Amino acid sequence: MKKKAGINGFGRFGLHLIKYWLDRHEESDFTINYINDDTLTIDQAIEILYNDSIVIFSKYKIKKIGNRIRFLKPNGVAEEIEYANTNKNQIPWVGKPELFFECSGKNTVKKDCLKFLKGKTTVVIISATSWDADKTLLYGFNNKEYKNKHKIVSYGSCTVNAFIPLGAFMDKLYGIVDADVNVVHNIQKYRLKDNDTLNRKFCTLEKSGPQLLKCLSKKNFSVNYTVVPYTGVSMIDFRFRLKKCPTLNQFIMTLENAIYEGKLKGLYNMHDADRGPEVHNCTPFSAVFIKENLKIVKDQVYIFSYFDNENSVNRYYDLANYITNA
């Protein structure tokens, strides 16, 4: 029998997560049975489900039935999710599901999540960086380190999931001397203002990178993180200085093999040419590399890519599925 899950927070992350799970429901090892949002009513949530321009639910017939949202699939199978609109201290379904998905972005400190560990609930998975979680687990990197003692788990972040598995791969094969990441990050539409301009910010990857990869430190790793007044897919570019640098052709062959058959399969993809950001909306990959833009200059490798930061739910989903079976 599949384990049950509940989502707290129906913002962009929660919206993507519902769609990603619905599209993979048959193969998923958990069901999403509950949603709570402290701001959106059930009618407002349904309006978003009908009208969002990026996360498209057109293949599902959506209907409100009391306090439930029903998703009817083309094959006649229906999924119903109980919906609540209350603050985190009054969520009516706390303790009922085995998995608690904290996706509000408001409870990233461990003590704020402990109250969700009641009844049948055995683990809380935070959809953001949490510095004091029992464990930060990235699917495809260290998810197999999960233990039952890990009650509050962080999935990292969109940038952390885009970089860390690739960084680990590069270090194992070639040895990283130093590295940096350049992120051009979008902004959610509802936060966009007429007077917005470029804004350089701190990125959690800059701190969590050295915590997760032994080859990195404050001295040899940096992240340039710029938020731009734009709502589309973001860009993330990588530079690695290597101890054993391959030729460009060797590197492309090795990277393609890892993506399609090896360690990076399912995590990354590569396109031959740059077709712009729009084609990567709702991609199932943590980042998509652009082959024609790959460069090697002396002992440095440059990898240019796009990533749909909103849809980093792909790795969150994978991690939840793994924990369900652990």
pLDDT, tens digit, 9 for 90 and up, residues 286-318: 999 999 999 999 999 999 999 999 889 999 999
Q: Is the pLDDT of residue 279 over 90?
A: yes
CB 90 within 8 A of CB 31: no
Q: Is 272 exposed, middle or buried (0-12, 13-18, 19+ CB in 10 A)?
A: exposed
- What is the reported pLDDT for 229? 86
Q: Is the pLDDT of residue 188 over 90?
A: no
Rounded Cα–Cα distance for residues 286 and 75 (Å)? 30
pLDDT, tens digit, 9 for 90 and up, residues 12-21: 999 999 999 9
DSSP secondary structure letter of residue 145: G
Q: Is the pLDDT of residue 36 over 90?
A: yes
Pairing of β 199-201 and β 221-227: antiparallel
Rg (CA), the chain: 20
Q: Is the pLDDT of residue 175 over 80?
A: yes
Rounded Cα–Cα distance for residues 256 and 103 (Å)? 33
CA distances from 106 to 6, 127, 169, 190, 273 (A): 16, 10, 33, 17, 39
- What is the reported pLDDT for 114? 97
Looking at the whole model, is its pTM more than 0.85?
yes
